[in-house]
Amino acid sequence: MTRVSVPEKGVESLFGTHDENLRLLEQAFKVRIRGHGSELSIEGDEAGATLARRALEQLTALMKDGYSVGAGDVRLAADLLSRDADTRLKDYLLKSAVRSGKKVVVPRSLNQRRYLEQIQSHDMVFGIGPAGTGKTYLAVAQAMAYLLNKEVSRVILARPAVEAGEKLGFLPGDLQQKVDPYLRPLYDALYDLLEFEKVERLFERNQIEVAPIAFMRGRTLSDAFVIIDEAQNTTTEQMKMVLTRVGPGSKVVVTGDITQIDLPSGRVSGLVEALSVLSGVDGIAFRYFDEKDVVRHRLVQSIIKAYEAWGGEKPPEQ
């Protein structure tokens, strides 16, 4: 039997709701973990118990340094240590972290880390996967880091203005007010990453622009970090138009979920088509996410798996 001491402060986040994080480690390393006051006992074969102990020791060390451990970190620790028993979780997190305004954003899975690495090393990246996998949030965080470090002069966030299956009817107000509801998730990410006043100043200086994809026509987007979100709802013409707007010194990240296309029946998704058309183009990277990358409520993983089993189709790896 192996024992590990755990700090009292923050132990709820380490254990998770109804000890779900401990159950995750049990499943990953084929062990049993039981609590005894400020200690945890680990029962199982020596190899599994050793890995579970290393995971818990590294996670508690991070907590003592002020890091807020969540379910994503526990999954990440289990994944990394299963691959390499000598992994130093702290080094991994510090190397991969994106410092964006008031937050330090850390990838919660190997896929998320590789996604950030691809964004840094390629001028165009496609991030494809279900809701909650961090594909848009990580892209916005990286974009703001580039802007604040003066690696680009502006950030452009664009989405197609397509209703998600509902009929919203007439929306009052001027043109910007009419399209703002479609763009709200991008605003939410910005305000989560930066102080409200900082975001407002960047908007006033035109260093951040949030707009429908239709507003990109006829422009050349130079020295910019461009994010095309919800790209599964672009048409073929829109996708080709926006991708050919890219000018010198720019990066482009295209995100979307090809299982949630809201285009009218008979219309081809510009994203689905682009994945085939551009698959062999040098300099373009593709990253596919799945339910293991979900960082929202634990039920989201189960929901995604249930829909895939019911009839959804997982995109092929590239």
Q: State pLDDT tens for residues 281-315.
A: 999 999 999 877 876 666 666 776 787 677 644 44
List, as one string, the DSSP characters of 93-154. Answer: HHHH-EEETTEEE--SSHHHHHHHHHHHH-SEEEEE--TTSSHHHHHHHHHHHHHHTTSSSE
Could you tell me the pLDDT band of residue 76, with boundaries at 50, 70 and 90? confident
Least confident of 6-10, 59-63, 221-225, 260-264: 6-10
Could you tell me the pLDDT band of residue 180, with boundaries at 50, 70 and 90? low
pLDDT of amino acid 288: 95
Buried b (16+ CB within 10 A) or exposed e, 297-318: eeebbebbbeeeeeeeeebeee
- Work out the average pLDDT over 6-10: 74
- Cα(first)–Cα(last) distance of the chain, in Å? 43
- Work out the average pLDDT over 178-207: 84
pLDDT of amino acid 211: 84
Least confident of 132-136, 144-148, 308-312: 308-312
In angstroms, rounded to a whole number, what is the distance separating the alpha carbons of residues 261 and 269? Answer: 7
Contact of 8 with 39, CB cutoff 8 Å: no
Q: State pLDDT tens for residues 227-279.
A: 999 999 999 999 999 999 999 999 999 999 998 898 888 889 999 999 999 99
Mean confidence (pLDDT) of the chain: 84
Q: State pLDDT tens for residues 92-127.
A: 777 777 887 777 788 888 889 899 999 999 999 999
- Work out the average pLDDT over 41-49: 91
- Work out the average pLDDT over 165-171: 45
Contact of 105 with 138, CB cutoff 8 Å: yes
If one compares 26 and 37, the residue with the highest pLDDT of the two is 26
In angstroms, rounded to a whole number, what is the distance separating the alpha carbons of residues 67 and 65? Answer: 6
User: Strand 124-128 relative to strand 284-288: parallel, antiparallel, unpaired?
Assistant: parallel
